[in-house]
């Protein structure tokens, strides 16, 4: 029963066959078998109608394909999008589900993230700060696909680890940076860490040493192990240089003639070098250090550090030497520009984290704390 050249319904054994030749479809021959002649004739009519309406491409669509396409168009139109945007919708879906990139584990992403930080030339102690937070997270989530982790899971982890206050805020900040990095590498599309509720960290007044406290501390440093840690405590208390910067400062960068300490780019936390003025009482304390040991970087021993603290009897808090130097220098000079230049940070950082209200009298007294003998009788530093 030919309908047109190359199109027919014919008897084949016990069944009826629809046969459309490749010359008609322009692609491949189509042959379908049915139980009755009526079924075969009805199917032939459908195929010919599809050819007339949509061309040869319509013949590749199965009934399931048509149903899926129709449902996809319905979903688009339900949301107010025209049916013509179905191609854009599929392209977006494929972009969001790049299986190769989107299946990166947390451990793999963390390794890439830390390597990018190392390649950026960050200081060793800065890298340690990043690494501690990232490695801690990777320890519990390393085998998970990063793109599958939710904000709720991270918050639950925070709670289970009992992260609170500043600790919780720091972890949130570091994970937000990790997810931001992952987005740039197409490992995920949304920064779930950034959606975690921020915690309000109570603002506390920084603890500082009084003139009496610093006197006790300096005497303890002088008397412990022949004053091996004296320079470390003296520079920290009277110049406010960061402990890690002190440890990387060489003796040849301490100039007693110009009365300045040069914090090199290699030593500085920020990578920005600076000169820090030495007050007269610091020079007097440094005069107690024998010339023969003034080589290399400043000595630091954790055990000796703890021993000096304990022997001094001073109540200690983190960054107390730096906070003390900044607060008292500002009280003495009322010059915020000078203080921030000496400390190596911005004014807002100083006002928020480093300054405690101190009277000018106390500020001046702090910088007169010297060795037991009068300052004017101190041994010249280069003797």
Q: What tens digit of pLDDT does each residue of 124-134 get? A: 778 888 899 99
Residue 169, SS3 per DSSP: helix
Query: In the predicted model, what is the mean pLDDT of residues 365-372?
Result: 91
pLDDT over threshold 50, residue 64: yes
pLDDT of residue 198: 87
pLDDT over threshold 50, residue 237: yes
User: Would you put residue 175 in left (φ > 0), alpha (ψ -120 to 50) or beta?
Assistant: alpha
Contact assessment for residue 176 and residue 193, using Cβ atoms and an 8 Å cutoff? yes
pLDDT of residue 382: 46
Q: How far, in Å, CA of 215 to CA of 185, rounded?
A: 54
pLDDT of residue 4: 52
Taking Cα atoms as reference points, which of 260, 274, 279, 264 lies closest to residue 345? 274
pLDDT of residue 32: 77
Length of the chain (residues) = 383
Cα of first residue to Cα of last residue in the chain, in angstroms, is 119
106-195 fold = DNA polymerase; domain 1 (1.10.150)
Q: How far, in Å, CA of 103 to CA of 145, rounded?
A: 6
Token pair for 94: 């494929």
pLDDT of residue 285: 96
Phi, psi of 18 (to 5 degrees): -95, 130
pLDDT of residue 129: 85
Band of residue 150 on the pLDDT scale cut at 50, 70, 90: very high
Q: How far, in Å, CA of 330 to CA of 347, rounded?
A: 12
Band of residue 278 on the pLDDT scale cut at 50, 70, 90: very high
pLDDT of residue 375: 38
* Residue-wise pLDDT tens digits, 297-348: 999 999 999 999 999 999 998 889 999 999 999 999 999 889 888 888 777 7
211-377 fold = hpI Integrase; Chain A (1.10.443)
Band of residue 205 on the pLDDT scale cut at 50, 70, 90: confident
Q: How far, in Å, CA of 284 to CA of 240, rounded?
A: 17
Band of residue 100 on the pLDDT scale cut at 50, 70, 90: low
pLDDT of residue 282: 96
Mean pLDDT highest for which of 30-44, 54-68, 245-259? 245-259
What average pLDDT does the structure give for the chain?
84
């Amino acid at each position: 029963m030919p309908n047109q050249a190359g199109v027919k319904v014919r008897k084949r054994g016990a069944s009826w066959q629809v046969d459309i030749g490749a010359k008609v479809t322009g692609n491949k021959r189509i042959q379908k078998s049915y139980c009755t002649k009526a079924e075969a004739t009805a199917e032939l009519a459908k195929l010919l109608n599809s050819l007339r309406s949509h061309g040869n491409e319509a013949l590749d669509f199965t009934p399931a394909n048509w149903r899926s396409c129709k449902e996809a168009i319905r979903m688009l139109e339900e949301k107010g999008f025209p049916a013509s945007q179905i191609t854009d919708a599929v392209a977006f879906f494929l972009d969001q589900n790049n299986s190769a990139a989107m299946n990166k584990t947390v451990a793999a992403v963390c390794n890439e993230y830390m390597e990018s930080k190392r390649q950026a030339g960050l200081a060793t102690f800065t890298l340690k700060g990043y690494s501690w937070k990232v490695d801690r997270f990777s320890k519990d989530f390393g085998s998970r696909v990063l793109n599958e982790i939710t904000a709720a899971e991270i918050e639950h982890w925070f709670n289970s680890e009992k992260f609170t206050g500043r600790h919780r805020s720091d972890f949130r900040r570091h994970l937000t940076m990790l997810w931001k990095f992952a987005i740039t590498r197409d490992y995920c599309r949304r920064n779930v860490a950034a959606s975690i509720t921020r915690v309000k960290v109570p603002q506390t007044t920084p603890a500082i040493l009084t003139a009496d406290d610093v006197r006790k501390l300096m005497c303890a440093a002088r008397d412990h192990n022949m004053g091996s840690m004296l320079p470390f405590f003296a520079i920290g208390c009277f110049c406010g240089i960061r402990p890690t910067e002190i440890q990387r400062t060489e003796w040849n960068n301490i100039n007693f003639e110009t009365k300045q300490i040069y914090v090199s780019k290699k030593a500085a936390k920020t990578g920005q070098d600076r000169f820090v003025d030495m007050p007269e009482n610091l020079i007097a304390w440094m005069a107690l250090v024998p010339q023969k040991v003034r080589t290399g970087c400043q000595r630091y021993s954790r055990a000796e550090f703890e021993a000096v603290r304990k022997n001094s009897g001073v109540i200690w808090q983190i960054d107390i030497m730096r906070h003390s130097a900044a607060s008292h220098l500002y009280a003495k000079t009322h010059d915020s520009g000078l203080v921030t230049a000496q400390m190596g940070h911005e004014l807002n950082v100083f006002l928020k984290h480093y300054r405690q209200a101190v009277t000018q009298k106390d500020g001046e007294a702090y910088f007169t704390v010297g060795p037991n003998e009068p300052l004017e009788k101190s041994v010249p530093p280069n003797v």
